[in-house]
Amino acid sequence: MSTQNYQVFWQEALKQLSEEYKSNGKEDEFKIWFKMDYVEDHDNVIVVNVPSEFLKIQMMSRGYVEQIKSKLMEITGQSDFSIEIQYNNATPVSTPVPSQEKVEVKSSKKEEKKTDKKETSGKHHPQLMEKFTFENFVPGDNNNYAYSATLAAAKNPGKSDTLNPILLYGGVGLGKTHLMQSLGNYIYQHDEKAKICFISSENFFNEFYYSLQNNQMNKFKNKYRNYDVFLFDDIQFLIGKESLQEECFHTFNGLMEHHAQMVFTCDRPINELKGIEDRLKTRFSSGVCIDLKPPSYENRIAIIRKKLEIEKKVIRNDVVEYIAKNIQMNVRDLEASIKKIVGYQDLIQTEVTIEIAQDLLKDTISEATGNAVSMETILKVVADIENTSIADIKGKGRSKRLAETRHIAIYVARELLEYSYSELGGEFGGRDHTTILSAYNGIADRIKTDPSFEKRIKDIVNSIKEYKKI
Name the residues that contact ligand ADP, by CB under 6 A.
137-138, 143, 172-178, 303, 306, 331-332, 335
* Cβ(249)–Cβ(217) below 8 Å: no
Q: Residue 178 or 313: which CB sits closer to ligand ADP?
A: 178
220 binds, among ligand ADP, Mg ion, none (CB under 5 to 8 A by kind): none
Stretch that binds Mg ion, among 101-109, 136-144, 172-180, 443-451 (CB under 5 A): 172-180
Give me the amino acid identity at 436: I
Minimum separation from the CB atom of position 287 to ligand ADP (A): 19
Tell me how far apart the alpha carbons of residues 458 and 121 are, in angstroms, rounded to a whole number. 53
Which residue, 158 or 175, is less far from Mg ion as judged by CB?
A: 175
Q: Which is nearer to Mg ion, 200 or 374 (CB)?
A: 200
Q: Which among ligand ADP, Mg ion, none contacts residue 444 (Cβ within 5 to 8 A by kind)? A: none
The CB-of-326 to ligand ADP minimum distance in angstroms stands at 16
Counting residues that bind Mg ion (by CB under 5 A) gives 2
**Which entry of Mg ion, ligand ADP, none binds 391, CB below 5 to 8 A by partner kind?**
none
User: Is residue 268 exposed (0-12), middle (13-18) or buried (19+ Cβ within 10 Å)?
Assistant: middle
Residues in the chain, total: 470
From 293, 182, 166, select the one nearest 232 (Cα to Cα). Answer: 166
In angstroms, rounded to a whole number, what is the distance separating the alpha carbons of residues 319 and 298? 14
Nearer to Mg ion, 125 or 176 (CB): 176
The C-alpha atoms of residue 142 and residue 139 are separated, in whole angstroms, by 8
Q: Which residue sits closest to ligand ADP, CB atoms considered?
A: 175
Residue 452 CB, shortest distance to ligand ADP, in Å, is 36
Question: Rounded to a whole number, what is the largest CA-CA distance in the chain?
Answer: 91
Sheet containing 37-42, strands listed edge to edge, beginning at the edge strand earlier in sequence: 37-42, 45-50, 82-87
Question: Is residue 251 part of the contact set for Mg ion (CB under 5 A)?
Answer: no
Nearer of residues 202 and 318 to Mg ion, judged by Cβ = 202
Compute the C-alpha angle 346/351/352, nearest 5°.
95
Q: Which does 259 bind (CB under 5 to 8 A by kind): Mg ion, ligand ADP, none?
A: none
201 near Mg ion, judged by CB under 5 A: no
Q: How many CB atoms lie within 10 A of CB 175?
A: 24
DSSP per position, 407-424:
HHHHHHHHHHS---HHHH
In DSSP terms, 261 is beta-bridged to: 229
Q: Which does 287 bind (CB under 5 to 8 A by kind): ligand ADP, Mg ion, none?
A: none
DSSP-assigned beta bridge partners for residue 265: 168
Do 329 and 300 contact (CB within 8 A), yes or no? no
Q: How far is the CB of 129 from ligand ADP (least distance, A)?
A: 8
Q: Least distance from C-beta 368 to Mg ion, angstroms?
A: 18
| Least distance to ligand ADP, CB of residue 168, Å | 8
Q: Of 177 and 251, which has the nearer Cβ to Mg ion? A: 177
Quote the CA–CA distance of 308 and 453 in Å, as a whole number.
49
Residue 22 or 131 having the CB closest to ligand ADP: 131
Residues 142, 150, 177, 251: which binds Mg ion (CB under 5 A)? 177
Pairing between β-strand 37-42 and β-strand 45-50 as defined by DSSP bridges: antiparallel
Binding residues for Mg ion (CB under 5 A) = 176-177
